[in-house]
Amino acid sequence: MAAVRAAKQALRKEIKRRVAALSAEEKRRQSVVVSEKLFRHPKYVSCKRIAVFLTMDDEVRTEQIIKDIFKRGKDCFIPRYKSSRIHMDMLQLSSLQDMETLPLTSWNIRQPAEDDNTREEALDGGGLDLILVPGLGFDGLGKRLGRGKGFYDTYLDRCMKHPKGKPYTIALAFKEQLCQEIPVSDNDVLIDEVLYEDDDSGGP
C-alpha cells in the first residue's frame, strides 16, 4: 500500500507540472474539443440524469457542457464536497442562473451551501445515468488518479447500492493527463471511458 501511495504522489506531481505548463488558451481549446466529442457520444445523447463537476483551474472546462445539459432538457447534478468527513453528494441544479448564485468554496469552485437542504440528491431520487468525472491522471484501462481524497470512489460505491445501479462514467481529460499506467489500490473504482483530444477527432 505504501508503495502505491508513493507512486501516486510522484505521478500527481508530474501531471500537475505538465498541466501547469499549458496556457489558458490551450486549456480552453482542448476543452472545446472534448466537449464536442461528448455532445456526440451516444451515452450522453441518451442520458436523462447527469452529474458534472464544476471546473478547477487544472481541469477540462465544463461551462459549455452545463449549458448544453440545460439546452437539451436533461437533469443536471453537481457535487457538494464535505471535506470534514470525505463525503460528497450530487445535488440538482435548476438553471444556469442557479449555478451563478452558488457560494464559492476555498477551492474557488461553486457548490451548494452546507445548509442548503432544498435540493434533490441524485441517489435519493432516480439515481444517475451518467457521471462526468474529474481527475489528475488517467490511463487507457480506465484507471484514474484523483487528488487523494476518495470522493468519487466512495460516491460510485454508493451508486452501486442504488436500485438503478452504477451510472456510466466518462472522464474528461487534457492530453497531458494521460499516462501509460496509473497505480491503483483495491478501493479505486475504474472509469468506463476517458474523452480527450486524440488524432481521430471524428467520433467519440
142 labeled part of a ligand binding site: no
Confidence of residue 152 (pLDDT cuts 50, 70, 90): very high
Supply the CATH number for residue 99's domain: 3.40.50.10420
Whether the predicted pLDDT of 115 surpasses 70: yes
Chain segment 182-195, per-residue pLDDT in tens: 988 877 889 999 99
pLDDT at 33: 97
* Higher per-residue confidence, 47 vs 165: 47
152 labeled part of a ligand binding site: yes
135 labeled part of a ligand binding site: no
145 labeled part of a ligand binding site: yes
pLDDT at 43: 98
pLDDT at 136: 94
3-state secondary structure of 138: strand
Residue 137 host element (H or E) = strand 137-138
Chain segment 44-59, per-residue pLDDT in tens: 999 999 999 999 989 9
59 labeled part of a ligand binding site: yes
Q: Is residue 188 part of a domain?
A: yes
Residues linked to residue 123 through DSSP beta bridges, in sequence order: none
Chain segment 55-113, per-residue pLDDT in tens: 998 999 999 999 999 999 999 999 999 877 789 999 999 999 999 999 998 878 899 99
Whether the predicted pLDDT of 142 surpasses 80: yes
Mean pLDDT, to the nearest integer, of 11-29?
96
Q: How far apart are CA 102 and CA 34, in angstroms?
A: 26
148 labeled part of a ligand binding site: yes
151 labeled part of a ligand binding site: yes
Confidence of residue 204 (pLDDT cuts 50, 70, 90): very low
Sign, Cα dihedral of 108, 88, 82, 16: negative
Sign, Cα dihedral of 105, 30, 128, 92: positive
Q: Is residue 201 part of a domain?
A: no
Q: Is residue 200 part of a domain?
A: no
pLDDT at 203: 44
Q: Is residue 49 part of a domain?
A: yes
| pLDDT winner (highest mean) among 41-45, 144-148, 200-204 | 41-45
Share of the chain above pLDDT 90, in %: 77
Note the pTM of the prediction, 2 decimals: 0.93
Q: Is residue 191 part of a domain?
A: yes
Q: How far apart are CA 68 and CA 16, in angstroms?
A: 29
Q: How far apart are CA 155 and CA 79, in angstroms?
A: 10
27 labeled part of a ligand binding site: no
125 labeled part of a ligand binding site: no
Q: How far apart are CA 34 and CA 190, in angstroms?
A: 20
8 labeled part of a ligand binding site: yes
10 labeled part of a ligand binding site: yes
144 labeled part of a ligand binding site: yes
The total number of structural domains that make up the chain:
1
Q: How far apart are CA 96 and CA 163, in angstroms?
A: 29
Q: Is residue 202 part of a domain?
A: no
Q: Is residue 34 part of a domain?
A: yes
Q: Give the phi and the psi of residue 158 in degrees, each rounded to 5.
A: -65, -40
Give the sheet arrangement for strand 168-172, strand by strand: 87-93, 75-82, 49-51, 130-133, 168-172, 193-195
β-bridge pairing 137-138 and 144-145:
antiparallel
- Alpha helix locations (H) across 21-150? 24-40, 42-46, 63-71, 96-100
Residue 160 host element (H or E) = helix 151-160
Q: How far apart are CA 47 and CA 94, in angstroms?
A: 17
Give the domain extent around 172: 2-195
54 labeled part of a ligand binding site: yes
Q: Is residue 204 part of a domain?
A: no
